[in-house]
Copies of this chain bind each other. A is one copy, B any other.
Amino acid sequence: MPEVKSIFEPKVVALVGSSIIRERVGMTSPHMFANVVYNMTKFFTGETHVVDLEGEKGVKTIDKVPHRPELAVVMLPPRNTIEQVEKGAKRGIEAFILLTGGFKNAQRKQLSDLMREYGIRILGPNTIMGVVNTANGLNTTFERDVMPPRGNISVVSQSGGVGACLLDWACYYGVGVSKFAFMGDKIDVDDIDLLRYFEKDPNTKVVCFYVEGVEKGREFIEAAKEVVKTKPVLALKGGVTREAAKRALSHTASVAGSDVVFDAAFKKAGIIRVEDVEQLLDSAVALSKQHALKGDNIAIVSNVGGPAILAADAIVRNGLKLATLSEKTRLQIEKKFPGVEAVNPIDLIADARTDRYSFVLDAVLSDSNVDGVMVINMLKSTFFEPEDALAVVETAARHSDKPVVDVPAGGEDYALVQKVLRDTSMPVYNLPEKAARALRVLRLYGKIKEKGVEVQCR
């Protein structure tokens, strides 16, 4: 079987739909078709050919596309889809993304037969949104202009809805994405194929999964074990409770399996498990921008008192420790800034700006008792300005082996600082509790790399 590479990295793509057919169950519609064409025309850097079955002008069937596409994106009812896949396979097209759903078992079998006969690869059917690749602008989603910024996080979702939520979140908060894949019914390309592809993909540094069930469990674990040696793998599991698992069964026809079994399997594989969409992307951002934590000792550097205390609580709750600063560090800071008590969590006082943050962060990161730092820089009730946060980025970059995360705690405060930092190497969180959870994941990945995979991953 050829690789799944053509699904993400085609040079020539055919978009196969209809400007007339509307079908409720499978979601085929002229609207969906028009929007996929819009996104591909706008973002894709390769060659796009539109095949409109009912179009008045242009190409009306896949085998009439002037150049041979490597990938065909098909959004038609099952019968028409199968017909176009067969014609395309004969024409030599290697890969197919089937967006629409509603396929009966017999129809799935027809697709499988075509796969075997022509050696093609199929993502779907029922992927709904298909794939995104920010490197070449490939975007088969039917939401206009939904395009996350470039980055090195790759995401796989078994559910269209959770995938759409993840994609929306990534776009809105500027999470840097490499590839996005909606898996759908998985008659061919599955979690394992995508995991192996991302392992070799130079644009992927972190892999995120939303899974409900995994069919070839053992094979998936073995594949993940290899991948996590070089790239962290995160998983959000749906259908955790018995009640939801029953529902997941009818949703994606996957046996969700007992939660304990999954926990053990993830642990064995070195996959880090998270609890919700926010934590999945928050953790991914930390892993994509910072090194893993080599120890448990965290320093907190803050311009406000109360939030630093909540941060200290959160650090300890997440299985990490409050670092004890060395005497040397303490004296160095207190000599330079009388009034600042250099006890962790360090309160820099409300009038701290770049010079104080840079000096103290530098001193703390140079201390061998410290493995990582949570910086808190609120704007409200302090003198800190959003651009001052760049000093945190610069200082942290000089000690890149020790992770640093930034917390402009609040609503507008977060939005203002996040705008300044989103394209830098600094992960930014709106509350210390979220930053602490991200640091915990950085530590888990540190342990996975040190000791092999079998660490507590939840």
CB-based contact B415/A248 at 8 Å: no
* Additional A-B contact list (7), CB under 8 Å, known A161-B409, A164-B304, A168-B410: A159-B307, A161-B381, A170-B411, A243-B315, A251-B347, A252-B305, A276-B433
Taking CB atoms, residues of chain B closer than 8 Å to A248 are 309
CB distance from A298 to the nearest CB of B (A): 11
The stretch among A2-10, A215-223, A260-268, A337-345 that forms the contact with chain B is: A337-345
CB distance from A60 to the nearest CB of B (A): 27
Option from B128, B302, B306 in Cβ contact (under 8 Å) with A210:
B306
CB-based contact B307/A161 at 8 Å: yes
Q: Which residue of B lies closest to A241 (CB)?
A: B316
CB-based contact B378/A164 at 8 Å: yes
CB distance from A165 to the nearest CB of B (A): 5
Chain A positions near chain B (C-beta within 8 angstroms):
24-25, 27, 128-129, 142-143, 146, 157-165, 167-173, 210, 212, 236, 238-244, 247-248, 250-252, 275-278, 302, 304-310, 312-317, 321-322, 339, 341, 343, 345, 347, 350-351, 378-382, 409-413, 415, 430-433
A316 in contact with B244 given A160-B304, A238-B309, A305-B161 (CB within 8 Å): yes
CB distance from A97 to the nearest CB of B (A): 15
A313 in contact with B160 given A172-B410, A308-B247 (CB within 8 Å): no
CB-based contact B168/A316 at 8 Å: no
CB-based contact A339/B25 at 8 Å: yes
A169 in contact with B410 given A306-B210, A431-B278 (CB within 8 Å): yes
- Choose among A276, A302, A339, A347 the residue with the greatest number of B CB atoms under 10 Å from its CB: A276
Instruction: Give 27 A-B contacts (CB < 8 Å), ordered by A residue.
Output: A24-B339, A24-B351, A128-B381, A157-B306, A161-B305, A162-B304, A162-B306, A165-B306, A165-B307, A165-B410, A165-B413, A167-B380, A168-B379, A170-B411, A171-B412, A172-B410, A238-B309, A239-B312, A240-B317, A241-B313, A241-B317, A244-B312, A247-B345, A252-B306, A276-B310, A277-B410, A277-B431
CB distance from A301 to the nearest CB of B (A): 13
The CA-CA distance from A128 to B303 in the complex, in Å, is 14
CB-based contact A275/B433 at 8 Å: yes
The CA-CA distance from A164 to B304 in the complex, in Å, is 10
The CA-CA distance from A47 to B130 in the complex, in Å, is 62
Option from B25, B128, B167, B322 in Cβ contact (under 8 Å) with A243:
B322
Option from B142, B240, B312, B321 in Cβ contact (under 8 Å) with A313:
B240
A238 in contact with B413 given A27-B350, A277-B431, A380-B168 (CB within 8 Å): no
The CA-CA distance from A275 to B310 in the complex, in Å, is 9
The CA-CA distance from A241 to B322 in the complex, in Å, is 11
A411 in contact with B173 given A160-B305, A304-B161 (CB within 8 Å): yes
Taking CB atoms, residues of chain B closer than 8 Å to A410 are 164-165, 168-169, 172, 277
Taking CB atoms, residues of chain B closer than 8 Å to A379 are 168
The CA-CA distance from A239 to B314 in the complex, in Å, is 10
A378 in contact with B165 given A173-B411, A243-B322, A277-B409 (CB within 8 Å): yes
Q: Which residue of B lies closest to A168 (CB)?
A: B410
